[in-house]
């Protein structure tokens, strides 16, 4: 095929535009992105080489190479990894295949309207992770040459980041990928450093990519030629020496005190493809029957696609340092899908498939342990770091609560580590333990009401008597709340009771207990019951209203209107 000009997909164009106009202050991070991609490509090739005997690819010296050219003002990053086919280049580089792009686009438009506030844009980039496109922060033109392992023809992709890119075939491309940046001018004010300078590059690799498992090499400066001393023979000039810039230490095999928070943060960004800081780092080393190491992170920011169906797990599975797969959903339940990190299991086969993973006893045991550890870590954050916990909860609380429905074994622990809006405070959600301490001595259940929004719940007639008596009620307005209240009966021995269902006993006097009153109202109730027979099953007197004349309640065991809606929405 000959040279073809393509247009970037709309979302990609917007992201590129952000990059070209470089609102992101940390421009150095483009190198981390390129190295990270190269490292992923090497991981993939090694695994393919080990498991596919027919693959015609050399995996004996996998590495990354930086080639700065100060004269031409270019930097080239080369890997001899898996490479990309022509279609992959178009699909992966020309489009943003990630889910959440629509959301990103909307937010970008919003931030534009607000006058392209830098902080907003930076946060967006942080949430989305711009990857390869970050090169356009420091390059006026980017050229990518790649050949996929096992294929004979390579592909060249070039773009100046202006909305189009060009694709050509390359007959003699080496296997793997090389990316050449035509560097923009150095601008210390704008923090564009000299990326053709070896000293700068050494520093950046050390800083951002030291843990990368593959050697990152660079030819050093040629040593000054040595003048021969009087009467001695001239020494052959020595060529430049190849240096390895990173120490390649696998952070997950180290204990926590051997690793700095910065190293963890950089590793987190590498595995998660995110740009934020980890809120918490969890390091586990298990010995005994099942030997494994795990390094897990709780992110600070929620990724864009947290609520998208196709969102993969954030756990990378390794077997004795060999990368196996990057979305090991078998290791983390869906409600913990925001957890990022690495699990390195000692006794699995490199050929392990998803089907095997799903059956594997060891994987199940590891998963059980990781789940407990993550929940207890959330609980610790909740106990000790209220501000961080708020951040966590705003980002992940709704997902975390899905565990109440799907993980009965851990439901109590999840409840303990959760918080809920309540009538106690309009703005501050409460932990259940705190709700219990505020209960009157004679209150022995936890009251809640579900609904679509706080306003709807608080404005509901059901709440009147509770408000009047100063009884705290949990205000549950997330869709998942509807579901878990049906599956988790109690917390700490206290039953959850809906104030909108069945008969609520508020004075110790039962709704139905007053027989004199009942007699007086019997004819009215009978008449109303008949008149409304198509719509309600019963009309009864209640003590739960103070201002309103009547309210609708469900049976103790009926679905709430919200749950009915939820089921209808999911097609059941
Ligand atoms: P991400 O790494 O988060 O997926 P990027 O924009 O960094 O996003 O890269 C997009 C995709 O392009 C990668 O997922 C990968 O499939 C492909 N890719 C990028 N760089 C390379 C490379 N050096 N070798 C092979 N594939 C690459
Ligand atoms: Mg990437």
Least Cα distance to 371 among 346, 407, 318 occurs for: 407
CA of 494 to the centre of ligand 1 (A): 51
Query: How far lies 332's CA from each of 27, 287, 419, in Å?
Result: 34, 20, 22
Ligand 1 atom nearest the C-alpha of 273 is: 3
- Looking at the DSSP bridge assignments, the partners of residue 425 are 422
Site to probe by mutation for ligand 1, drawn from 40, 101, 323 as the one with most ligand atoms within 8 Å of Cβ, is 40
Ligand nearest to the CA of 98: 1
Burial grade of 258 (CB within 10 A; 0-12, 13-18, 19 or more) = exposed
Q: Which residues surround ligand 2, an ion (CB under 5 A)?
A: 37, 131
Least Cα distance to 122 among 339, 13, 277 occurs for: 277
Nearest residue by C-alpha to atom 4 in ligand 1 = 131
Distance between first and last Cα of the chain: 50
What's the rounded Cα separation, in Å, for the pair 394 and 477? Answer: 14
The edge-to-edge listing of strands for the beta sheet with 278-286 is 278-286, 292-299, 340-345, 314-319, 322-325
* Three-state DSSP class for residue 425: strand
Contact between 5 and 158 (Cβ < 8 Å) = no
pLDDT at position 477, please?
A: 95
For ligand 1, say whether the CB of 360 is within 6 Å of any of its atoms.
no
Mean pLDDT by groups of 10 residues along the chain of 572 residues: 84 77 76 92 93 89 97 97 95 69 67 60 63 90 97 96 93 96 90 94 91 93 78 79 91 92 93 90 91 96 76 82 85 94 88 81 93 98 97 96 95 98 95 96 94 92 88 95 94 94 59 64 77 76 68 63 57 44
For 99-137, letters b (16+ CB in 10 Å) and e give bbbebbeebbeebeeeeeeeebbbbbbbbbbbbbbbbbb
For ligand 1, say whether the CB of 131 is within 6 Å of any of its atoms.
yes
Contact between 278 and 395 (Cβ < 8 Å) = no
For ligand 1, say whether the CB of 566 is within 6 Å of any of its atoms.
no
Contact between 146 and 176 (Cβ < 8 Å) = yes
For ligand 1, say whether the CB of 314 is within 6 Å of any of its atoms.
no
What's the rounded Cα separation, in Å, for the pair 28 and 567? Answer: 49
Instruction: Please give the sequence-ordered ranges of beta strands (E in DSSP) within 46-122, or none if there are none.
Output: 64-69, 74-79
Angle at 360 between CA 356 and CA 363, to 5 degrees: 115
Phi, psi of 480 (to 5 degrees): -65, -25
CA of 89 to the centre of ligand 1 (A): 9
Contact between 18 and 25 (Cβ < 8 Å) = no
pLDDT at position 323, please?
A: 83
pTM for the model: 0.75
CA of 148 to the centre of ligand 2 (A): 17
Strands 176-183 and 64-69: unpaired
pLDDT at position 417, please?
A: 98
Contact between 210 and 246 (Cβ < 8 Å) = yes
Q: What is the DSSP letter of 336?
A: G
Angle at 38 between CA 34 and CA 42, to 5 degrees: 170
For ligand 1, say whether the CB of 29 is within 6 Å of any of its atoms.
no
For ligand 1, say whether the CB of 38 is within 6 Å of any of its atoms.
yes
| Residue partners of 128: CB distance under 8 A and separation at least 6 | 15, 98, 100, 104, 303, 304
Sign of CA dihedral 12, 18, 19, 25: negative
Phi, psi of 224 (to 5 degrees): -55, 135
- Looking at the DSSP bridge assignments, the partners of residue 158 are 143, 166
**Annotation: binding site:** 33, 37, 79, 84, 98-100, 127-132, 177, 354
Give residue 109's Cα distance to chain centre. Answer: 23
What's the rounded Cα separation, in Å, for the pair 509 and 31? Answer: 71
Nearest residue by C-alpha to atom 23 in ligand 1 = 38
pLDDT at position 298, please?
A: 97
Ligand 1 atom nearest the C-alpha of 83 is: 25
Sign of CA dihedral 424, 427, 431, 433: negative
pLDDT at position 538, please?
A: 75
How many Cβ atoms sit within 10 Å of the Cβ of residue 468?
13
* Three-state DSSP class for residue 286: strand
Give residue 346's Cα distance to chain centre. Answer: 26
CA of 210 to the centre of ligand 2 (A): 16
CA of 282 to the centre of ligand 2 (A): 23
């Amino acid at each position: 095929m000959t040279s073809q000009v393509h247009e970037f997909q709309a979302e990609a164009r917007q992201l590129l535009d952000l990059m070209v106009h470089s609102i992101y202050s940390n421009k150095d991070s483009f190198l981390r992105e390129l190295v990270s991609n190269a490292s992923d490509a090497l991981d993939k090739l090694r695994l393919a080489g080990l498991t596919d005997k027919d693959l015609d690819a050399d995996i004996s010296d996998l590495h990354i190479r930086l080639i700065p050219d100060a004269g031409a003002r270019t930097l080239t990053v080369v890997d001899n990894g898996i490479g990309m086919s022509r279609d992959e280049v178009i699909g992966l580089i020309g489009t943003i295949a990630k889910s959440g792009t629509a959301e990103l686009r909307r937010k970008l438009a919003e931030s534009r309207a607000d006058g392209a506030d830098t902080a907003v844009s930076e946060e967006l980039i942080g949430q989305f992770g711009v990857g390869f496109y970050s090169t356009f922060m420091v390059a006026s033109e980017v050229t990518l040459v790649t050949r996929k392992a096992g294929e004979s023809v390579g592909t060249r992709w070039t773009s100046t980041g202006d909305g189009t890119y060009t694709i050509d075939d390359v007959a003699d491309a080496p296997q793997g990928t090389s990316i050449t940046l035509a560097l923009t001018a150095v601008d210390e004010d704008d923090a564009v450093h000299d990326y053709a300078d070896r000293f700068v590059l050494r520093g950046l690799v050390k800083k951002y990519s030291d843990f990368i498992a593959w050697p990152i090499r660079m030819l050093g400066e040629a040593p000054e030629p040595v003048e021969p001393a009087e009467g001695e023979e001239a020494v052959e000039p020595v060529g430049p020496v190849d240096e390895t810039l990173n120490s390649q230490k696998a952070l997950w095999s180290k204990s926590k005190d051997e690793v700095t928070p910065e190293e963890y943060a950089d590793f987190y960004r590498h595995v998660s493809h995110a740009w934020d800081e980890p809120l918490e780092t969890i390091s586990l080393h298990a010995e005994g029957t099942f030997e494994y190491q795990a390094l897990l992170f709780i992110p600070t920011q929620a990724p864009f696609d947290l609520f998208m169906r196709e969102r993969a797990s954030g756990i990378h599975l390794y077997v004795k340092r060999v990368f196996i797969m990057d979305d090991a959903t078998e290791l983390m339940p869906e409600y913990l899908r925001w957890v990022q990190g690495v699990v390195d299991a000692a006794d699995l086969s490199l050929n392990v498939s998803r089907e095997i993973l799903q059956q594997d006893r060891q994987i199940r045991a590891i998963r059980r342990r990781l789940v407990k550890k993550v929940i207890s870590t959330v609980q610790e954050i909740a106990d000790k770091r209220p501000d961080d916990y708020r951040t966590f909860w705003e980002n992940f609380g709704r997902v975390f609560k899905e565990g109440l429905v799907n993980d009965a074994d851990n439901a109590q622990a999840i409840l303990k580590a959760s918080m809920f809006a309540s009538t106690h405070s309009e703005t501050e959600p409460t932990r259940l333990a705190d709700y219990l301490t505020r209960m009157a001595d004679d209150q022995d259940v936890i009251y809640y009401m579900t609904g679509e929004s706080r306003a709807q719940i608080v404005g509901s007639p059901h709440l009147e008597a509770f408000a009047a008596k100063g009884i705290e009620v949990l205000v549950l307005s997330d869709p998942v709340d509807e579901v878990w209240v049906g599956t988790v009966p109690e917390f700490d021995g206290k039953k959850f009771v809906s104030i909108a269902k069945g008969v609520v006993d508020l004075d110790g006097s039962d709704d139905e207990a007053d027989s004199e009153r009942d007699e007086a109202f019997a004819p009215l109730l009978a008449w109303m019951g008949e008149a409304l027979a198509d719509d309600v099953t019963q009309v009864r007197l209640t003590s739960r209203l103070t201002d309103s004349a009547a309210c609708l309640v469900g049976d103790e065991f009926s679905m709430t209107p919200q749950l009915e809606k939820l089921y209808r929405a999911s097609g059941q």
